Amino acid sequence: MRLARPSTRRDSDEQVVMIDNDSAPRILFHGENFLLEDLPVGTRVIYPKRPLAPLPNARAAIRYALNHPEEMEPLHALLTPGMKLTIAIDDISLPLPPMQRPDIRETVLEIVCEMLADHGVDDVHLIIATSLHRRMSEAEIRRMVGEKVFHAFWPDRLYNHDACDPDGMVTLGKTRHSEVVEMNRRAAESDLVIYVNLNLVPMDGGHKSVGVGLCGYESLKAHHTPKTIVASDSFMDPSNSALSSSVERIGRVAEKHVKVFHIETALNNRMFSGPADFLMKNEDNFTEGDRLKFQAMKWALDRTPRALRREVFMRVPAAYGLIAVHAGACEPVHEKILKRCFEQYAVEVHGQCDILISGIPYISPYNVNSTALNPLLVQVMALGYYFHMYRKRPLVRKGGVMIVTHPCTDAFDPKHHPSYIEFFNRLLPETSDAYTLERKYQDEFAYDPSYVELYRRGNAYHGAHPFYMWYWGQAGREWLGKVIVVGSDNVTVPKLLGWERADTLAEAIAMGRAFAGRSAEITMLHHPPILMTDVM
């Protein structure tokens, strides 16, 4: 590795770096490994902001939020002995990777449950608001809520939401746009619902908590569509997201039927710490120790089987810190949390690019503790999440090129993603058109009794979930002129995804330039950790 260039930039420029002749090569995630690549001179590299300082006393901040809520009475004033109360909790899909213990949900739950006991509220159920995500396992729930809460409530009063339980769901009505509002029956029939949220990306939280987390397939059909995704500019920008608008309408109807006390939290972006903290740095600022650590890590990863590499990555939790907690009514709480999230994630960028480069890591919201980031999830990370990480306008120009790095191994976790396998191998060879897939096959998968059973009693994502993953990428597919994947270990997966492949980043950039022009402007998004761009 080349010697580091002395850091002479001003702090305000530290998120946007231009590659010059002296720049160090850049690290890109490549699944469960890394690539170290020289980028062409003039390439713009966008880094996440430094982690915001965590609140010094999280427990005190949570108690303050509960006692000084937004546009609602303090939580203790809402509690009466004998009332029926349900606590809904965000699931394992965030944060990524799972955070070091105690998970912030554990801290919140301990405080809330103590308060409930103090006020004589005994009829309490805790529901993991999985929506159509997979059921969390006992061990995962135990880790998330902590021993104290787990032992007090598991398994009769602490369990996963079941969107396919005909007796466990209730239809509350429709929005003015005829969107069906379904909800978990226990929650809907409670005197009070407390929602314990964790915001990782700006599409989380707000009305999505109850409106999606506790709903069923019929509700999701209203907005988990390719049409809604394409109309969202982007779905990570709630103020310009058709998806968010629909969810808000549903959430408002739901909250007409049941009182919900929202507790929202925001985390900083300290994804890597300890021996891996150099991954948070600009490569130009690497010390000799950082370079040695990276080379040692790369050497070991190159010689380790994929499954073992995956196991190692999955076992390293993130050192996220709480940067905000607010409680009370949904909308004012969410507004404050979003503001804090954007303070952490949003990076101001001037101008779009023609070629966008991004490394795809080993993890997504939908494969925590799974055996693979399957091809559909690689697709959703690229064209769903990373493409949509913008406000104002996409980081890449219309008709531009996106280059991603991932092995795209044809591997699925049959326990977590059985319906993905059929979707990928049976449906995609027939058509990749999201609108056709939705019309022709979505209901078949959603009502498939085997997939229903696997969702309800196994640990599988709902039968319709792979469709949503494909829709998540629809705006990117319609916007981009070409997607090139670097380092794919096969040709079949990129072909089915509609992507081209290249063996090296240099080859991919040459292909991108051949498509977008010799003077194409190149930008690399240097994540994870997550970052969003405000494209001016």
Q: How far is the CB of 185 from another protein (least distance, A)?
A: 16
Which residue lies nearer to another protein by CB, 171 or 504?
171
In terms of CB distance, is 263 or 452 closer to another protein? Answer: 452
What's the closest the beta carbon of residue 409 comes to another protein, in angstroms? 15
CB of 378 to another protein, least distance (A): 18
Alpha-carbon distances of 192 from 123, 238, 278, 414, 427, rounded to whole Å: 11, 26, 45, 38, 43
Residues 6+ apart with CB under 8 A from 164: 216, 217, 452, 455, 456, 462
The CB-of-217 to another protein minimum distance in angstroms stands at 11
Nearer to another protein by Cβ, of 2 and 457: the residue is 457
Give 451 or 467: the residue with its C-beta nearer to another protein. 451
70: which DSSP letter? B
Of 87 and 164, nearer to another protein (C-beta) is 164
Smallest gap from Cβ 457 to another protein, in A, equals 5
Cβ-based nearer residue to another protein, 64 or 159: 159
The Cβ-side half-sphere exposure at 384, using a 13 Å CA radius, reads 24
Q: What span, in angstroms and rounded, lies between the C-alpha atoms of 142 and 150? A: 6
Nearest residue to 198 via CA among 346, 103, 90: 90
Smallest separation (angstroms) from another protein to the CB of 479: 32
* Closer residue to another protein in complex, CB, 34/423: 423
Our CB check for another protein shows the closer of 418 and 473 to be 418
Smallest separation (angstroms) from another protein to the CB of 443: 9
Which two three-digit tokens encode residue 193?
A: 């619902």
**Is the Cβ of residue 166 or residue 274 nearer to another protein in the bound state?**
166
Nearer to another protein, 289 or 449 (CB): 449
User: Which two tokens mark 520?
Assistant: 């194409």
Q: How far, in Å, CA of 213 to CA of 334, rounded?
A: 15
Query: Residue 63 and residue 92: Cα distance in Å, rounded?
Result: 24
Collect all residues with Cβ–Cβ distance below 8 Å to 521 and sequence separation of at least 6.
Answer: 42, 44, 351, 352, 353, 354, 355
Q: How far apart are CA 114 and CA 66, in angstroms?
A: 12
CA 433 to each of CA 227, 470, 498: distance values in angstroms, whole numbers, following the listed order: 12, 9, 11
Give the residues lining the site for another protein (CB under 8 A).
164, 166, 412, 414, 418, 421-422, 425, 447-454, 456-458
DSSP character for 346? E
Q: How far is the CB of 418 from another protein (least distance, A)?
A: 5
C-alpha 363/C-alpha 274 separation (Å) is: 20
Both ends of the chain: CA-CA distance in Å?
34
In terms of DSSP H, where are the helices of 258-329? Answer: 288-302, 306-314
Query: Residue 521 corresponds to which tokens in the numbers above?
Result: 């402007």
Q: Tokens 């349900």 — which residue?
A: 86
Q: How far apart are CA 262 and CA 338, in angstroms?
A: 14
* Shortest spacing between CB 180 and another protein, in angstroms: 16
Residue 438 CB, nearest approach to another protein (Å)? 18
